[in-house]
Amino acid sequence: MRKSNLFPFLTYGILLTKFNSKEVLVKKQILYFVILAVIVLTGCGTTTLSLKPDSKTDFTQFKSLTIKTAAADGVVIPDSAQTRIKDRVRAEISGGCCPKRFESIHIDNIQPDDLLLIIQFTKYDEGNRFARAMLAGLGAMKINADVEVKDGHSGNSICKGEAGKSFAWGGMLGAMTGIEDVEKDFAKEVSRGFGEMLGIAPVSASK
**The amino acid at 158:** I
Let me know: does 163 contact 49? Beta carbons within 8 Å. yes
CATH number at residue 163: 3.40.50
Q: Are residues 37 and 136 in the same domain?
A: no
> What's the pTM value of the predicted model, to 2 decimals?
0.75
Q: Chain-centre distance of CA 166, in angstroms?
A: 6
Is position 207 within any domain? no
Q: Are residues 120 and 145 in the same domain?
A: yes
Q: Are residues 33 and 56 in the same domain?
A: no
Backbone angles phi, psi at 113, to 5 degrees: -105, 15
Point out which residues pair with 65 in neighbouring strands: 105, 115
Q: Are residues 48 and 136 in the same domain?
A: yes
Residue 97: the pLDDT is 84
Q: Are residues 58 and 17 in the same domain?
A: no
Residue 139 to residue 137: CA distance in whole angstroms: 7
Is position 206 within any domain? no
**The amino acid at 118:** I
Q: Are residues 96 and 36 in the same domain?
A: no
Is position 1 within any domain? no
pLDDT interval class at 117 (50, 70, 90): very high
The total number of structural domains that make up the chain = 2
Backbone angles phi, psi at 167, to 5 degrees: -145, 130
pLDDT digits (tens, 9 = 90+) for 118-148: 999 999 999 877 777 776 667 789 999 999 9
Q: Are residues 78 and 126 in the same domain?
A: yes
Q: Are residues 68 and 131 in the same domain?
A: yes
Residue 67 to residue 63: CA distance in whole angstroms: 14
- Answer whether residue 27 shows pLDDT above 70: no
